[in-house]
Amino acid sequence: MRTTLWTAAILAAPVLSLLHQHPDELPDLSWDFVIVGGGAAGGVLANRLTEVREFNVLLLEAGPDTGDIFNFSMPFPVSTLSPFTPYDWNYTTVPETSTNNRVLGYPLGHVLGGSTSINSLLYTRGPSDDWNWLAEELEDDSWSWKNMQRFFQKNERWVHNDSTSGRFDPAHHSTSGMNFVSLPQAPESIDEMIIQTSKDHPEEYPFNVDMNSGRPLGLGWAQSTMAHGRRSTARTSYLSNEVLARPNLHILVNVFVTRLAPPSDGHTFSQVEFAYGPDKAHLATLTATHDLILSAGSINTPRILLHSGIGHPTTLASVGIPQVLPLPSVGQNLSDHTLVRLNFLVNSTDTWERFSNNQTLEEEYVKMWKETKQGPLGNGVFNHILFAKLSEEANDSSGEPNVEVLFNNGILPPWQPETGNYLSVIPILLTPTSRGHVIINSTSPLSPPLISPSFLSTEYDMKALRYAIRLAIGFVKRAPWEGYILSPFGFPESFMVDDSPRPASDSNELEADGIMDEWVRANAGTTAHPAGTCALSKLGADYGCVDLDFRVKGVKGVRVVDASVFPRIPRAHTQAPVYVVAEKAAEVIKVEYGYGRGGRAPVVHSGVGFGASGEEL
């Protein structure tokens, strides 16, 4: 059963001369930029900086290249890629009382393409107000929604794969960017019930024709990083084989960056140290003449900085790492969207279980996908999103959601029970007030970091998630679902009775709330959207790690560009925000060195990735 889809399968490996597997293969070049991490941000930077022929760029990636494994291009089998696979960092959280002292899996991509290679594909820009808030916070209008649009345009390559009208608004989309974005390619049997519920109750679940307009509130068709039946990732777009052919871009995979080598003058970093080989037993260093750029993500970037002596003096002293720069915000402010899964047994055979529990049909679908890129495996796992506000804030005219609900037409394989058919509804908290941290507790850079997301550690977060759960249950109890839902599966029956969304401040229903809270603390997990651990902040701010040019405050030669730079987590699935922040950073860096917008020389390369016709990588 698990030999087809659920085990990664190898196709012919492409030969990519500038993608190196071992440090000995590197040419004897002087590197202008060394980028750490080949994920969303690192991919953008490697691409955009090597548009300048004069720049030699080296990208270091801890994971392997997966361009040859078909599960990485098939959109559906996201749950075969993480958690706890060779393509995941296999991190877990520390036990925390707010989640019943459970140790939670914390998936992050450990492959070229980073988390974009293993993510769930949803493409959401977030509300315009989030970007406008950022512009105000940073006192820099270039971060406003309006001014960030050109970076979204550089990132998005909309593919109109659905002739049904009214499912998106072309006015908000770019067809010339790097990552393919499209509507669902295959219908799900629950689509009609979802849409009908919105039609029947437009005040509660208003239909939103395009959630990427800057006003995401309501129910709409999901937009995802896929097209032509394939995933679109940082690997297939910014780091496509075409881009990897550039003579000034080299990528070294399977190398683990341990730290920045201590600066000889005490503040100018130019060398990065990395471990490689079996058991990472060998150490080497490389030099960047312009900048070292950390794009290792919100957990690993602070991990590297702390091992380099940049962080909170108390943390560094307690571990015994010599302090190079006191920067207390490193690793703090960890923010993430927490979720729960509400599974229901349903009265239908037309759910994912029809093939996830039927090897013959599953093999047929794999064959169909290989031959035509069609069928259920050529689609992502979400066809709709519901963004909603807490009712007590409904008077706020900004159109900002606080919570989100997603719908799966089954339990994500391979976690489905062997019998039965299911609906899985996923309430998510978008505006957490809990803040966690990432620290280290060893001088060995190979020891995993301690991740404390502190999920649901504030009363507001608990109330808001409770609200989202009631909203989700209320949604699937409307008339279009009559006769469909048989029973809750894995959560208390009492939630079904008590389904009315209520203001987050309402404390009358203490008993029902208490039962729900207990279940939530025992079941909540991560959306894998960590952000904020090395935040941007304006000059003179009393928090933050990087200036508006992405340079680490107080030292020279090192920048941070990845999800860790958001001072506040966007109300969005985070890949689109990270892609555009990296596009912006690439421009800032190019301009600083005299290239690009207003600079002295035009860019010289371009390249999109697997083409509009859908050819291989």
Ligand X SMILES: Cc1cc2nc3c(=O)[nH]c(=O)nc-3n(C[C@H](O)[C@H](O)[C@H](O)COP(=O)(O)OP(=O)(O)OC[C@H]3O[C@@H](n4cnc5c(N)ncnc54)[C@H](O)[C@@H]3O)c2cc1C
How far is it, in rounded angstroms, from Cα 6 to Cα 80?
A: 6
Q: Angle, nearest 10°, between helix axes 40-49 and 575-592?
A: 30
CA 555 to chain centre: 29
Given a contact cutoff of 8 angstroms between Cβ atoms, the answer to whether 73 and 407 are in contact is: no
DSSP string, 47-67: HHHTTSTT--EEEE-SS---T
φ/ψ of residue 171, rounded to 5: -60, -20
Q: Which two tokens stand for residue 6?
A: 């659920």
CA 175 to chain centre: 22
Exposure string over 396-411, b if 16+ CB within 10 A, otherwise e: eeebbbbbbbbbbbbb
> Shortest Cβ distance from residue 225 to ligand X (Å)?
8
Q: Which residues bind ligand X (CB under 6 A)?
A: 36-42, 60-63, 82, 107-110, 114-116, 118-122, 256-257, 295-297, 300, 304, 528-529, 562-563, 573-576, 578
List Cβ neighbours of 215 (8 Å cut-off, separation of 6 or more): 127, 128, 208, 399
- Active-site position among 22, 290, 529, 605: 529
Name the nearest CA neighbour of 193 among 380, 369, 346. Answer: 346
The verdict on whether residue 111 carries a ligand-binding annotation is: yes
φ/ψ of residue 106, rounded to 5: -135, 80
- Per 3-state DSSP, the chain is made up of helix, strand and coil in percentages (nearest 5) of 30, 20, 50
> Shortest Cβ distance from residue 559 to ligand X (Å)?
13
Residue keyed to tokens 């260093």 = 285
Q: Which two tokens stand for residue 518?
A: 């207990």
By C-beta, is 299 or 485 nearer to ligand X?
299
Residue 495 amino acid letter: F
By C-beta, is 107 or 229 nearer to ligand X?
107
> Shortest Cβ distance from residue 39 to ligand X (Å)?
2
The verdict on whether residue 257 carries a ligand-binding annotation is: yes
By C-beta, is 58 or 462 nearer to ligand X?
58
By C-beta, is 204 or 336 nearer to ligand X?
336
Peptide bond preceding 427 in cis form (omega within 30 of 0): no
> Shortest Cβ distance from residue 82 to ligand X (Å)?
5
By C-beta, is 295 or 356 nearer to ligand X?
295
- Active-site position among 201, 267, 573, 605: 573
By C-beta, is 42 or 331 nearer to ligand X?
42
> Shortest Cβ distance from residue 23 to ligand X (Å)?
13
Please give the radius of gyration of the chain, using alpha carbons only, rounded to the nearest integer. 23
By C-beta, is 125 or 463 nearer to ligand X?
125
How far is it, in rounded angstroms, from Cα 477 to Cα 85?
A: 37
Active site residue 110: no
> Shortest Cβ distance from residue 572 to ligand X (Å)?
7
Active site residue 250: no
> Shortest Cβ distance from residue 496 to ligand X (Å)?
28
List Cβ neighbours of 416 (8 Å cut-off, separation of 6 or more): 352, 353, 356, 357, 410, 422
Binding-site entries: 111, 257
Binding-site entries for FAD: 111, 257
Q: Which residues are catalytic?
A: 529, 573
